[in-house]
């Protein structure tokens, strides 16, 4: 089995938990299954060659993490079954025909990252009531960046927060982006996950700009808060798709599923380091608070 990863919040946990969920279904690494993991290591331009490598190995199935990986796998093969995990808006980005009837060789669990990002914009008004202006930091190399930004703009409008879009060409431009933000400091920045985890958080803390995103790991590593799908459910459902296909099911006949469970995680330690006060009412409503 090939696994193609975009290095991003949650990618390492996905790698570990996917193996564990498949083990529960009877697939033991080195015995009944062999894993071929490939990560772009933060360089999205490598995804096509990594996908081609998996195809040359003649793997029986490819699992992808995030939209750019799904796109690269699709371009590399129309024959090997592909199971997507959190590929945002797969119909809109052209990966599948429809959620109910995906067609072709792709199925799995789609992401709702745009909706989650829009909710992050709305939550800013509750968690940081003084927020008036925020930056939506998008990754131009990610085909999901357009719906990601569109949903944030809608969420900001609903919450009365002015959203400024900033597009960069991958993680290599993060330093310049945060330096530019610091010139006219926003109240917060919403970071697209494919731009990575640790470096955006480090820069946000360095420039004292509250940063939020749509993966739990973002808050755990020092982001102000995250609003995300419940990852454990995603891992389990992805493994279930793999199991069905390896037992003979056709991807075209397996409806693509969407996440249904979500959680808000607030990092109170980061809030204190940035001299921010989170309303107690909002803390009480959070699914988890990091002290």
| pLDDT, position 92 | 83
Q: Which residues are within 8 A (CB) of 45 and not within 5 positions of it... i.e. 6 or more apart? A: 141
In the chain the domains, ranked by start, together with CATH numbers, are 2-112+230-261 (3.40.50.2300), 114-228+263-290 (3.40.50.2300)
Name the 3-class secondary structure at 147. Answer: helix
| pLDDT, position 286 | 96
Give the C-alpha separation, 200 to 196, whole Å: 7
φ, ψ for residue 262 (rounded to 5)? -135, 160
| pLDDT, position 144 | 84
| pLDDT, position 210 | 98
pTM of the complete model: 0.84
φ, ψ for residue 160 (rounded to 5)? 75, 30
Give the C-alpha separation, 218 to 224, whole Å: 8
* Beta-bridge partners for 185: none
In the block, tokens 């996950």 appear at 193
Give the C-alpha separation, 200 to 193, whole Å: 10
Beta carbons of 75 and 208 less than 8 angstroms apart: no
In Å, how far are 11, 160, 224, 229 from 215, measured between CA atoms?
A: 10, 24, 12, 7
In the block, tokens 């709702």 appear at 112
| pLDDT, position 110 | 93
pLDDT per 10-residue tile (average), the chain, 291 residues = 91 93 95 96 92 98 94 97 91 90 95 92 96 96 88 96 96 96 96 92 97 94 95 91 97 94 96 96 95 92
Give the C-alpha separation, 123 to 86, whole Å: 22
| pLDDT, position 233 | 87
Q: What angle do CA 140, 152, 262 make, to 5 degrees?
A: 105
In Å, how far are 29, 111, 232 from 97, measured between CA atoms?
A: 33, 16, 27
């Amino acid at each position: 089995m090939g696994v193609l990863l975009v290095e991003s919040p949650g990618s390492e946990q996905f790698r570990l938990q996917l193996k564990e969920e498949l083990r529960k279904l009877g697939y033991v690494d080195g015995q009944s299954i062999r894993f071929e993991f490939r990560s772009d290591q933060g360089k999205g331009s490598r995804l096509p060659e990594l996908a081609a490598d998996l195809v040359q190995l003649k793997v029986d199935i490819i699992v992808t993490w995030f939209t750019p990986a799904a796109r690269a796998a699709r371009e590399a093969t129309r024959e090997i079954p592909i199971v997507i995990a959190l590929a945002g808006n797969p119909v809109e980005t052209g990966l599948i025909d429809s959620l109910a009837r995906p067609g072709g060789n792709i199925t799995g669990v789609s992401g709702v990252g745009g909706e989650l990002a829009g909710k992050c914009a709305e939550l800013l008004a509750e968690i940081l009531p003084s927020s008036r202006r925020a930056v939506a930091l998008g990754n131009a190399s990610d085909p999901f960046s357009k719906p990601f930004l569109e949903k944030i703009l809608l969420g900001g409008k609903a919450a009365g927060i002015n959203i400024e879009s900033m597009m960069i060409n991958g993680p290599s431009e993060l330093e310049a982006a945060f330096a530019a933000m610091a010139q006219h400091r926003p109240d917060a920045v919403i970071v697209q996950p494919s731009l990575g985890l640790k470096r955006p958080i480090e820069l946000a803390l360095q420039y004292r700009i509250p940063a939020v995103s749509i993966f739990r790991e973002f808050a755990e590593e020092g982001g102000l808060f995250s609003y995300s799908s419940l990852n454990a459910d995603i891992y389990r459902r992805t493994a279930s798709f793999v199991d069905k296909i390896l037992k003979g099911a056709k991807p075209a006949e397996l409806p693509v599923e969407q996440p249904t469970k979500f959680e808000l995680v607030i990092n109170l330690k980061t809030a204190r380091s940035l001299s921010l006060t989170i309303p107690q009412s909002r803390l009480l409503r959070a699914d988890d608070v990091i002290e």
